[in-house]
Structure 1
């Protein structure tokens, strides 16, 4: 009887874990709902960056919008690091922290082994048209918006054919037009904190 009971609870446990995994896979496969009051930011819009970033002003900039409490943000971090490693000589990178929790820049850099500037500027998400994480925003050297969108169609950024952020980087560096693919600009992932009813990056 005892073995039967243990077996029963093991089956329940395995089923529960499987159901939770399936639910998360399903949840994050759906587009992030567009917040009320959202306004599209057009390519070519000038984006003002805080002077605290200490960027050269001579290179394009990739802003990585990141929430350490968002599973999707954590899953794609290795991919972001691979982009930093490959393009750091041609592009300036910065992480924009969008979370309701009081993380410091140093905490994020230490915890995730990042050697790029980290800022918690709540206005940048709105300025760039970002309402979910993770998102990539690519600015030209003159700080005009070039690309705002996804890194990959895969949650783990493993699909080589849909590396949208990498494609955008390559296009910008080679003077080509921005990607024109609805899948690259339809937001997926976690909503920004406190923006369920109104568009506000808080």
Structure 2
């Protein structure tokens, strides 16, 4: 009985915590998108500003942990960069998600994962930065710390600073670009309290 109890606790710990410390498995048929490649999304770059696409899954605990950092970046760089929150298909309205997580930027629903594929994103939370011409400038993690608290590894913040300064894309290493978090096709329990469509 004790063995079953500890096995169950271990499984729950793995399911809720430890698996997010490991890189997200690369999906079959994944096609990498190189920095400098044009992302076909002309409507997003119409303003003439660079674009930050925040791939956010309200049902992913990792996405919820970086909401505060994302909002801080949107506030700091909002005059220079167009921010969007990109949601996978959900049965919750974007308005309900925005209200629940205090997201103040425009929201896009990427129900067929076209935008995610165009940017090479397969997990959340991830950011994709596009320059003014729609070329991929950076794709990767917000931070090496799950809770986005390590200033030395604030990858998206560093990339944004370089982008608005007109500098080449920074080389931040595998910790910045190896995906961590929840797979886009993955569904979990109702972490957010919002009903989500199961795939």
Fold shared by both chains (TM-score > 0.5): yes
The 1:50–1:71 alpha-carbon spacing in structure 2 relative to 1, beyond 3 Å, is farther
| Cα distance in 2, alignment partners of residues 132 and 63 from structure 1 | 13
The aligned residue for residue 131 of structure 2 is: 140
Is contact 1:149–1:184 with CA below 8 Å preserved after alignment?
yes
User: Alpha-carbon deviations, 1:144-199, whole Å to 9, x = none?
Assistant: 1100000000010000100000000011111222122111000000011269xxxx
The aligned residue for residue 66 of structure 2 is: 76
- List alignment gaps of at least 5 residues for structure 1: 1-11, 196-201
- List alignment gaps of at least 5 residues for structure 2: 188-198
The aligned residue for residue 195 of structure 2 is: none
The aligned residue for residue 145 of structure 2 is: 154
The aligned residue for residue 94 of structure 2 is: 105
Is contact 2:42–2:134 with CA below 8 Å preserved after alignment?
no
Q: Does 1:176 align with 2:174?
A: no
Count of residues in correspondence between the two structures:
181
The 1:78–1:21 alpha-carbon spacing in structure 2 relative to 1, beyond 3 Å, is farther
Is contact 1:60–1:90 with CA below 8 Å preserved after alignment?
yes
| Cα distance in 1, alignment partners of residues 10 and 155 from structure 2 | 30
TM-score by length of 1: 0.81
The aligned residue for residue 32 of structure 1 is: 24
Aligned runs of 1:1-202 on 2, under 5 Å? Answer: 20-21=12-13, 24-49=16-41, 51=43, 57-99=47-89, 101-121=90-110, 122-180=113-171, 181-193=173-185
Structure with max Cα Rg: 1
TM-score by length of 2: 0.82
The 1:23–1:105 alpha-carbon spacing in structure 2 relative to 1, beyond 3 Å, is closer
The 1:126–1:22 alpha-carbon spacing in structure 2 relative to 1, beyond 3 Å, is closer
The CA RMSD over aligned residues, in Å, is 2.4
| Cα distance in 2, alignment partners of residues 33 and 194 from structure 1 | 11
More helix per residue: 1
